[in-house]
A = this chain, B = another copy of it.
Amino acid sequence: MKENNKTAVRQILTKYLDDNKLRKTPERFAVLDAVYSFNGHFSIQELSEKIEEDFFPVSRATLYNALNLFVSLHLVVCHRLSMGTMYQASYESANHCYQVCTACGKVAEIKAPKVEQALDETRLKRFRRDSYSLYVYGVCSTCVAKITRKKNKKRLNS
């Protein structure tokens, strides 16, 4: 499934580059492969390290260039959160609903069919809609547990 995705997104990129007479550089495909080797979101720093290890060195500028291209092709989404910018592979993710843990920063895709349907039914006046993203902020169960533990410790110590 994941390797399937890699092939599919490579084809999308190839077609786009062909159609627009742009170059199919090894850097671009290396970045795309690196992006699609992540489970979930990652920072520029993490992507840079991953590509350095498992693929081949690419400059920061090229990383940004490639990511911007992929975002415009909807192969990657960019989350600008308070804890920093995170990217995420987005091929075959039908919706764009995410839950964000404000304690640990984890971003997870969520299924919200009712919300998506409601959105499709919502008409906007004087606005040509392209896409959307929904962010639900809160605290994940792991972090809730950690916080509770810390509070108990404090209580016992005082």
- A positions within 8 Å CB-CB of B: 78, 80-82, 99, 101-102, 110, 112, 114-115, 117-119, 121-122, 124, 126-141, 144
- Name A's interface SS: strand
Apart from A131-B136, A134-B135, list 13 A-B contacts with CB within 8 A: A80-B80, A99-B127, A99-B129, A102-B130, A110-B124, A115-B118, A117-B118, A118-B118, A126-B141, A127-B140, A129-B137, A130-B137, A134-B134
Q: Determine whether the beta carbon of B112 is less than 8 Å from that of A118.
A: yes
Contacts A126-B141, A128-B138, A141-B127 given; indicate if A80 touches B78 (C-beta within 8 A). no
Q: Which of A119, A140, A141 has the most CB of B within 10 A?
A: A119
